[in-house]
Amino acid sequence: MNEPFERLQRARAKAGYSQATDAARAFGWNENTYRSHENGERGLKPAVAEKYARAFRVSAAWLLTGEQGDVVRTVPLLGKVSAGAVMEIMSEAQGPFEEVEVFSGDHEATAAAEIKGDCMGPLLDGWLVFWNSGRTISPKDLVGKICVIGLDDGRVMLKKLTKGSIPGMFTLYSQFDPPIYDALVKWASPVTSMRPR
């Protein structure tokens, strides 16, 4: 599969469309144009590759070059991080949630939140934070790491976790806000990646 048209054929088949005409009809594409892309008579331009990639849930970069893997995985955007690095997490009842693409290779991520404002610095406004919402680790094993943290009082925060002055308690740091000293952390999940939206 060295050519874009060969990868397009594979993407269509993996998406469950046995014939090129089936896919074209399902998405309202011109059948002759789509077939000519899939049989290599016409080259794929980036805008067209993006359209096909969205439909077949693959990476446009993979369609065009074969790089970055063939599958784009998405995770739900569960909340926003704002002043004080407090994360507002939406409940399941507030779904369905917007889905955002995950970095290729970031297999641990299962959820995302968007940073709003300059709580993590002006350069990170609008960035996405990813973590594994189903994997919590003992806070003592995450000292020195940036984590999504659940506090005893119900707040969820994005903070760097450090040892507190009292055994079993932790001091929490963010970019601009004063530290929270000797906090009781109920759960923590390490941030797996961050990227601009």
CATH, residue 50: 1.10.260.40
Q: Is 31 a residue whose pLDDT tops 70?
A: yes
Pick the last residue of a domain from 45, 65, 85.
Answer: 65
For residues 63-89, give the mean pLDDT: 81
Cα end-to-end span (Å), the chain: 31
Query: 143: pLDDT confidence band, cut at 50, 70 and 90?
Result: very high
The runs of H, that is alpha helices, within the chain are 4-14, 20-27, 31-38, 46-56, 60-65
CATH code, domain carrying 120: 2.10.109.10
In the 8-state DSSP scheme, what is residue 89? E
Between 101 and 1, whose confidence is greater?
Answer: 101
Q: Please indicate, yes or no, whether residues 27 and 99 belong to a single structural domain of this protein.
A: no
Least confident of 59-68, 70-79, 172-181: 70-79
The better pLDDT of the pair 106, 48 is held by 48
pLDDT greater than 90 at residue 139: yes
Q: Say if residue 33 is in the same domain as residue 115.
A: no
pLDDT in tens, 36-66: 999 999 999 999 998 998 888 788 888 898 8
Q: Is the pLDDT of residue 90 over 90?
A: no
Residue 91 — pLDDT band, cuts 50, 70, 90? low
Last residue in a domain, options 65, 88, 110: 65
Residue 181 belongs to what domain range?
74-196
* 126 and 46 co-located in one domain: no
Positive or negative CA dihedral for 178, 180, 186, 187?
Answer: positive
Q: pLDDT tens, 158-167?
A: 999 999 999 9
Same domain, yes or no, for 86 and 171? yes
Count Cα neighbours of 96 within 13 Å in the Cβ-side half-sphere.
Answer: 4
pTM listed for this prediction: 0.64
Mark whether 146 and 192 lie in a shared domain: yes
The number of folded domains in the chain is 2
Whether residues 120 and 177 share a domain: the answer is: yes
Q: Is 107 found in the same domain as 185?
A: yes
CB 33, CB 68: distance < 8 Å: no
Shared-domain flag, residues 123 and 46: no
Confidence tier at 120 by pLDDT (50, 70, 90): confident
